[in-house]
Structures are given as C-alpha cells and as structure tokens.
Structure 1
Amino acid sequence: MKNQSSPGILEILLIFLFLAAGAGCAGEYRYVTPEKKQAKKPPSQQAVPGPAPSLPAPEPVPDPEPAPAPRAATPASGEKSSQEMLDSALGFCQASDDFWEHGDLDNAIDALDQAYSLILKIGADNPPEIQQQKEDLRVTISRRILEVYASRHTVANGDHKVIPLEMNSHVERALKLFQGKERKFFISAYRRSGRYRPAIVKALKAAGLPEELSWLPLIESGFKVRAMSRARALGLWQFIASTGYKFGLKRDRWTDERMDPDKATRAAIAYLKELHQIFGDWTTVLAAYNCGEGTVLRQIRTQKINYLDNFWDLYGKLPWETAFYVPRFLAVLHIVNDPGAYGFTLPPVDAPVETESVTIDKQVHLKTMARYLSVPYGLLRDLNPELRRNSTPDRPYALKLPKGKGAVLLARLGDIPVWRPPRVAYVRHKVRKGESLSVIARRYRTSIRAIMAMNRLKSSRYIKAGWTLKIPTRRSRRALSSPPPAPPAYKIKGKYAEYVVRNGDSLWRIAKQFGTTTEAIQSLNHLDTADLRIGQILTIPRGIPELARIKTRKYRVLKGDSPYTIAQKNQMKLSEFLRLNHLTPRSTIFPGQILLVKTE
C-alpha cells in the first residue's frame, strides 16, 4: 500500500480512471451475478487480508493468451473466464465498501486496486455484454477511489511542483491590461498585500504548497478583506457561502468567517489541496478554483483527453472569465518577479499589524471599545473584519487587538456598556421584471441607499428579477445599552420544550439555558444557519442529548492528521468522531482547526 501522503502510481491511476469514465460516471455499476443476487455480502476480512501487496486475489489470474480470432475464445483449462474475473472484481468492490464503512481506508483502496487489476486482464475480444459489464465496473472503481481518497482528508506533503511561469499570447494580453487601464488597481493591491501576504506565505509553506499562490488574492479581491463579487463571493479568497461552509468557514448574523484573513487562508489551502489531488497541475487547479471543479471536469470529458497536465488545451473551452483568470495570475507572477522588465516601479507595501487575541463574552460595539482603548476605530474594524455588525457577538468571541491592548481591555471591560443592535422592521419584496431600486424605493417610501445597505448591494444598477430584497420600513428603534433580557417563558410538551424567540436571543444562549447544544437545536428544527427571528418557535430537547453527555476536550488538528487517525489516537470510532464534530466522510479538515474528542 502506498504511503498515505504520497499516492504516487495509484493517484495517477485514479486520474486516468476518472477521466476515462466520461459521462458514465453518473451511474452505478449495474451488473450483479445470479449468485450475488442470492448473497450480496462482501468477502470477509479473512478472505481479503491486509494491505497490498499482501492482499491476493481469490485465485491466481494468469495473463490471457492472445485470441486467435476476433470472437471470444473458450478459456484454457486452469484459466478464469472473463465472467469469472468480473465476478471476482465485483467481490473486491463490495469488500472495499465494507472496509470503507468500518474506517479501514487502506484495505478499501487495496481491494479496489485488486479489482482493477482483474478487469485489466479481460481482453477486448469479448461479447458486447461482457464489455459493457467491464466498462460499468471500471466506472464504479474510479468513483470509489475518488470517494475513499476524499474521505482520507490527506494533507499535502510539500512535494508539489512549482507553478510553471509560462509566457504566451494570453499572458501577454493580461500584462498589457496591468500595464494600462488596470495599472492603478495593481499598484494599490500590491501595496495592500504587505499586510496579509507574510502570514499567507507562512501558511502555504507549512502546508507544502507553492508560495506563488500567495498572490492569488491580488486577482481575487485586490487584497481587500471585505471585497464582494456579483456572485456574492466574499473576502480575500472570494469564497461563496456554500464552498466556505464546506471548508469550515462559518456564517451567522454576527460573523462571516470568509472575511477573516487567517481562517479564509486555511480554508483556501484546504480547497487548493483538494483540487490538486484531482487535477495534478497548478494551472488547471487555478481554473477550477475560479469556476469550480465540476465545470473543468465537464470540459475535460467533452474533449476526451487522457491527461490533465496541459491547461492550455482547455483554454478555449472554458468560460472566458475563467480561462483568462489563469493568464492574469501568471502575469502577476511575471511582474512581481521582474517589475522593471514590464515598466513597473513597485511601491513599499503596508506593514502587518502586530496583534494579540482576547476572548470576551460580552456584546460590545467596536466604536465604543475604541474610545475606551484609545485606538482608532478603523484599526479595530480592520483587525476584526469578520464582525458583520462591527460588534462582538452574544457568545464568547476571540477579539483581535493591537499588541499590548489586551490587558487594557480586560481591565476596563466592566466599564464598557453592552450594545444591542437596532431593531429595524422590514418587509420582503420579490423583484419583478423591469423593476429598479428607485421604483421599489418610491413604492415603499424609503431610499435606495437604505435598501442597498440592508441587502449589502454594491451597485444600485444591478438587481435581477426573482431576487427577494429586504425593504426597511419606518418602524425602528435605537440601539440600547442595557442588561440582557430576562429568560422568556416556554411550554413543556412531552420530551421537548417549545421556546418562543425573544429580542436578544441567540442559539448559544438558548442552548446554554436548556443544557443542550446549538447543533442539537439546529438539527431538531432543521436550521441551516444560526440566524433566528423574533417570535420564531423552536423545539428544544429536554435533558442532555447523548453526544452532549460525552466528556470532551479540544483537539487542534496537526499536519498529516485525518479524521481516521484522530479517532484512532483518541480511542474513538470513526463514525462517533464524525458525529461529535458534525462532519461527513467527505468533509475536509485542515491544520490548526479545533475539533472535539472524547476524554476519560
């Protein structure tokens, strides 16, 4: 079995299988022998022992003799027929599923390796039904390998090749744009890079990725932590909400971790690693980062190519914005490597701010805090860009402060008044065809600016029919500096309590009051986010759920960790570890992430 962090030949096989599968990857293997219909259980672990190469096929399978005629030949005595080899390969696939379900990923891969070696021995001179069965099984194997490798969450080990610094007509075109109308943008973004890039380079090196990737935020966001695209991608690394959530970036009414440069960088590294495992070369990875791996894979299958190492073969097939994204990035590398050659004199970069973190459990507005700490309000906002309301949330929160201000905050925290967000009443409006913000604002007797602020719109000219907008009304109240509201009443019904959400409530406070967890409340009420609305009725589990009764401790993910290895180190079942941390077999973890494990 290959080393977990370096798949080598098996990874190449994986890529080949995945590409060759083509459109057929959408379906499962359809063939089941009559014997398998009677007994679908996979071979036992005794029948399929430990890691390859010690894991043999059920019987030795010699290489087939060349067929003397185009029709299928009767197998010689002692040889397996094509049908028998298909049956054996299917058995290994089923055994792999069983190994995978029990967390034995090494044997799961070995069983798939054995299955593939069997179908390679089936010649091309068989009847059509045999060939179809072989093709279906090959597709199944390719999908299983992808799934098992995804569940490994393997951390890259640093031996990826450096991004090739190519020069062609596409890159030259991007260079001309930066030398011309985008020159001011480039200079400003380059200057801002100094605040964030040193930490990004350090994280990339620790993860074993090329440090050239630290320039990716320049074309993604211009190194602006609050940059938002028309597709609602946000932050330095421009994550859309769903991709951010997949890689551990949380979002609620108080915070959006896509705007935290450190957390977003860790998520981007995890995503780039996953893409590199799929495609194998960095130029294709960059295209997939921009438009999603699905778009790139569809174009690869359409072209029916058997390799993934030449992005430029895909260039004309990809969406223009995605295709040109790679030349823009390469142009940036050319300029920063030799600015004088392209007519640039680069300015000094902004220096990173030295910070320290202090965890507080109090809702405080950053503007008020800035006065008590004698620091600029803008600096506090820049250090904590993930705070959507410029206030600490109603739960414990690690606040970033300028170096030396942590002790000052702790000493004066009791004097700083609690902040409550203004309660703005609004109605929802579904945009109709032909409507503009000015038309909608006149209808509801409000302003375009108020609608844009409530919906975080960057342009008053860009709205689409079908969008649902929040329209502020005249009813509102001022922010209050008062103690938290008294616990609201609730009704007991059997094993659960019905709770009516009141002003100032949060999932964290409700869970703490009832001795349960926020995850248990979200699961029971089918909540996708932690956002609540006043008057909302929640069903709260009475007593402490099973997982909440487990004594846990925090575990910081190390380089090379996977859910399987973490569970083993802490005497936990893989399934138990995944449930405790609300992960799935396809979730990605990354170094520095905090997870829960059982403790004695």
Structure 2
Amino acid sequence: MLNRYSFLVLLTSFLMLISWACSSGQKKIPLNKAPSPPQKEEKTGRATAPATAPVSESQNNPTNPEQNNKTAELEAQETPSTTEEVYMLIQEAQEALEKGDLDEALVLLDRAYSTLLKIEASTDSPLYQEKNDLRILLAQKIQQVYAFRLPPPSTNHKTIPLVENNWVLLEIKSFQTTERKFFEEAYRCSGLYRPMIVEEFKKAGLPVELSWLPLIESSFKPRALSRARALGLWQFIASTGYRYGLKRDRFVDERMDPVKSTRAAIKYLSELHDFFGDWTTAIAAYNCGELRVQNVIRAQKIDYLDNFWDLFTNLPYETARYVPRFIATLLIIENPEKYGFNLPEPEPGLTCETVTVSKPVKLSVIASKLGLDQNLLIQLNPELRHDSTPNYEYQLRVPQGYAEQTLASLNEVPNWIPPEAVFGWHIVKKGETLGLIARRYRTTVQAIVRLNNLRSATLIYPGQKIKIPGRAQGLTPAEDEGSPSSVAANQDNPSGKTITYVVKPGDTLFKISRSFGISMEKIKNDNHLESDNLNPGQKLIIRLN
C-alpha cells in the first residue's frame, strides 16, 4: 500500500514538472516574430484573432496619425474591389447556369457569399445597403439554380390549380354568354400559332397549359394592340420587349414576331416563377408587373400570406380578374361539353421556310409574283410594320416549297421606299397645350415638336394645324390636306400659307418671329406695324413661306 502511494506521488510530481516546462517555453516569444496568419473564418465571416499578437511600434503609439491615415486608405481601397469581386462571381455563376452546369454555378455563388461576408460596413454607410442588396441577389440566384434542378411538372393540376371558386365561375359564365363569340373565334385562331408555342414551352420545360395565355391576352392575333400600347401575341409593352431582346426599328417590331415574342415570354414567365414560386402569382405578375405584386405582398400584415388568392382582393381589378379568367379558359378547353361549348376546329398551323432578303420589298408585290394571297405572307411575317421587308438582311418566311421561286422573283421586284412618318392632323383648340395633346394621343411632346419642326414646345395657338405621330382615333388622316377654317391659302403667296395669330399676354414680336421662323421685319411689314409693341388680343397676319 505504501509503495503504491509513493508511486502515485512521484507520478504526479513528474507530470507537474512537464506541464511547468511547457508553459514556460510558450511564453518566450521574440519581439520580431512575424505575425501568424489569421485562423479559419467562422460562419459570421469574421476572422478569429490570433492567440498571441505581435508587438509593433504602431501598437506602442496608437495615436500615430500617419499610420491611421494609411490604414483608412487601405480599407477604402479594399472594399470596392471586394464588392466588384462579388458581382464578377455572380456573373460567372449566371453564365454557368445558362450552360446547364448547376454544380459550378452553386460553387461560384458560395464563393460570392463567402466574399460578401468579408465586407464590413457600418449601418449608416451606403455600403451597408449595397451589401444587403447583394444578399438578396445571391438568394434569388441560388433559388433559381435549385428551380432548375426540379423536374418539369408533368400535370396541370400540380402547377396551376384548377379551382372552381366564385370568381372563376363568374368568368366561365361571361365566356358562356356575352363573350362566347370572342372565345370561340380566339380558339379557332389558336391553331395558327399554338403548335409552335407548345413546342417552345416543351423545350423550356414549362407547363404547356401556359400556351393558352395568348387567348385572353390577344385572341392569338400577333398584331393585337391594347390601350396601354402593349403589342403582339404576348402583349409586351416596349420597355419589357427591350428587356427580353425584342428589337424595334423603322421596319420591324419583334413584339409582333410569333416565334421571338414566344421565346421572350418564356424567359419572362420563368423569371417570375423563380421569383414568386407558384404559377398563379407569376401569371398575375405577368399581367401587371412583378413590382406591383411584390408591393402587395409587402403590404400583407402576415408575411406568409403570399399565395395568389391571399393577394387577390388587393390587386388591381384587371389583374385580379386575369388569373380566374385564365383558369376558366383551361377548364372550358379541358371539358367543353361540361360547360356547354361545341368548340370549332382550330385553323391548321402555319408551315414555312425562310429566304434571305436584303432590300425593301412590299409583301403584296412578292405575293403577286408568286400567285399567292398577300394575307398569307402577312400572317407569316406579322412583325413587318409596313408589310415590307427592311433595307437590311432579313429572313423572310414564305410558304413551304416557295423559297426558290421567291429568290428568283426578287430581282424583278422594285425597291419600296417607306414613308418618312405615319401621322395624322390635329387642330389646336383654345386652352390646349402640347402636353395635353400628347397625353390624349398617347405620344410625347418631344415627338410632336420634332415632327412639326417647332421652335418652341410652349407656343401654339388655337386653330393651328399640327401633325401627331401615329394613327390614333380622332386624328384627321394625313391624306386629307384640307386646311382648318382659321388657316386659309394666301392667293398672293402661293408658296406658303397665311395664319391669323392672336397675341397672348407675355408675347413679344421677337418671340413670335422665332416661333414661326420668320423675321420681325416681315411681320411688321405684313401688319403695317410702326413699332415692336404688341397688345394682348391683337391679331397678326403671319405669312409662312
């Protein structure tokens, strides 16, 4: 027993001696030792401080202003480069996603988030908001990657719930009664373009039921134009069309191109679904814009109430009606007999081949050379604004089997010169301004000023006849050259016109002469004025050359 006790005492003493020796060795650190590298980052993104910090002159003198300035400059230089690196990694991830390399996209997004965590910013600095925006962008991109991993939905009921609530039944009743003719005619026209649309949706892995959206958007008419200036099968406004690569110029508006606008709609719908997570809300956003729907979601008192039917009553009337209208369309097409419909046979799909044309030619002239109805060529090429090919290389669609004949006839067809501008006439009424006139005809003040070569956007007068871009309702056609009653042809001056102008408060002779592009002396001579003084209400004769 004594031997065992003695052995334990000796062992304990030996261990204490070793422990003391080790601790003494660790304390002997030279002053000039290089700083140890930072330890592995924690999940918070901040590096753990080293256990033993090196001693330097700057630490002994913390109030050294020169050293502090250098440190601040270094931090200011490093922060922008870090955010740029995050943006660069996100861009690389997007490119990998477009190539279908989902694993590489996730790796790049992880690296981007790791880089983002290194950015430190105070809550009152602009960098703090940029950091939050980058967090949101990364979250959306990661959600998009995982959405790509999901298999395409196999049935309609798993993607767009076909509920028969009161709102849907109300739209079904509308299609059964007042809108029956519209519904049957749109269904008949669907045969022209829907086979192509279905094929594009299948390639993209989207539910083919979405191919029926053009029925309520445009009645499957590629040149349909809404009051909001939305155009084409998929009713794109100009800005959204530009966003998804649809070109507009003097000759072509690709919003009316069935193939290109369908591909643009697929991109837009895919992004909306990735963002909102369900098709009903995505379809609502397609109608009124994602920002409008997002604002309604943010206004909800309970965060998780973001399903379409939760938002239904707070959406604009047209949008709130849009989704039930689409569901009603699907229900009727799926079971027409149940809802009392005997749907007509859809028109046969259009088949064509393409021919490269490099000069402006009217479709009617080509059709006459080929012995075809010009409406067939217009149906195949609805994106041509003047029913003419542009003055640059263009892929013209012609009926199957007519490609060689079309190429042979192009040498015999004369070039077509398009009109400089499509416009109508408006006669200015008392109290009207260019702003009011522009809003009435859905154009801009700048467009009216350019078209009329006006020197001022504020100086117009009652009875003045001005050109308005487009062919809006209420305009006198450009072909009608009849003058308004207050503008009479001057027999003594056949090369111009005579206008009676009533002087307004604030008018000067110089201002009026600049507006009409004539000299002050000419106005004075034509009106027998002895001085430059004018009185409000005074009538002046303006002879335009």
8 A contact 1:92–1:111 mirrored in 2: no
TM-score (norm 2): 0.60
The match for 1:168 is 165
SS in 2 for 1:348: coil
| Distance in structure 2 (CA, Å) of the matches to 1:153 and 1:254 | 41
Shift of 1:159: 2.6
- Give a deviation string over 1:466-489, Cα, whole Å, max 9, x none: xxx9967849xxxxxxxxxxxxxx
- Mapped to 2, the partners of 1:339 and 1:472 lie a distance apart of 48
Among 42, 48, 73, the alignment partner of 1:59 is: 42
Q: How does 1:401-412 map to 2 (within 5 A)?
A: 401-412=398-409
Counterpart of 1:266 in structure 2 is 263
Q: Percent identity?
A: 45
Choose which of 190, 197, 212 in structure 2 pairs with 1:215: 212
TM-superposition CA deviations, 1:156-178 (whole Å, max 9, x none): 86535521111211111111111
Tell me, yes or no, if structure 1 residue 100 matches structure 2 residue 97: no
Match status 1:374 vs 2:378: no
Larger gyration radius, structure 1 or structure 2: 2
Q: Higher mean Cα deviation, 96-105 or 372-381?
A: 96-105
| Cα distance per residue 1:436-480 (max 9 Å; x no partner) | 89xx9x95679xxx97xx6143x44xx9xxxxx9967849xxxxx
Q: Is the 8 A contact 1:281 1:309 kept in 2?
A: no
Shift of 1:419: 1.3
SS in 2 for 1:358: strand
Write out aligned runs for 1:164-563 (5 A): 164-307=161-304, 310-423=307-420, 430=434, 432=436, 443=463, 455-457=470-472, 459-460=473-474, 474=481
Identify the residue that residue 145 of structure 1 maps to in structure 2.
138
- 1:412 Cα deviation from its structure 2 partner: 1.7
Shift of 1:284: 0.2
Match of 2:70 in 1: none
AA aligned to 1:300 is I
Query: Which piece of structure 1 moves more, 301-310 or 232-241?
Result: 301-310
Partners in 1 of 2:377 and 2:338 — Cα distance?
Answer: 39
Question: What runs of 5+ residues in structure 2 fail to find an aligned partner?
Answer: 1-36, 52-77, 94-104, 427-433, 442-459, 483-545
What is the Cα-based RMSD across aligned positions, in Å?
A: 4.2
Contact 2:366/2:409 (8 A) holds in 1: no
In 1: Cα distance, 2:205 partner to 2:239 partner: 26
Deviations 1:418-438 (A, max 9, x none): 11124569699736379989x
Per-residue CA deviation, residues 134-167 of structure 1 (Å, 9 max, x unaligned), is x969844533315756999997865355211112
2 CA distance for matches of 1:433 and 1:473?
20
Distance 2:422 2:237 in 1: 27
TM-score, structure 1 length as denominator?
Answer: 0.54
- Residues 177 and 94 (structure 1 numbering): CA distance in 2 closer, same or farther, change over 3 Å? farther
Instruction: Rate the CA distance shift 1:155–1:473 in 2: closer, same or farther, 3 A.
Output: farther
Over 3 Å counting, the alpha-carbon distance change for 1:396 and 1:156 in structure 2 is farther
Q: Is the 8 A contact 1:426 1:473 kept in 2?
A: no
C-alpha separation in 1, matches of 2:333 and 2:118: 51
More helix by share: 2
Q: Secondary structure at the match of 2:233?
A: coil
Q: 1:259-312: per-residue Cα shift (whole Å, max 9, x none)?
A: 011111000001001111100100000000000000000111111543476210
- In structure 2, the CA distance between the partners of 1:216 and 1:426, relative to structure 1 (3 Å rule), is closer
Summarize the Cα distance change of 1:426–1:179 in structure 2 as closer, same or farther, 3 Å threshold. closer
Q: Retained in 2: the 8 A contact 1:424–1:472?
A: no
* CA distance, structure 1, for counterparts of residue 439 and residue 343 of structure 2: 45
Distance, in Å, in 2 between the alignment partners of 1:150 and 1:360 is 44
- With over 3 angstroms needed to count, the CA separation of the structure-2 counterparts of 1:57 and 1:366, relative to structure 1, is farther
Gapped regions of structure 1 (runs ≥ 5): 1-45, 48-55, 63-74, 79-90, 120-128, 464-468, 476-600
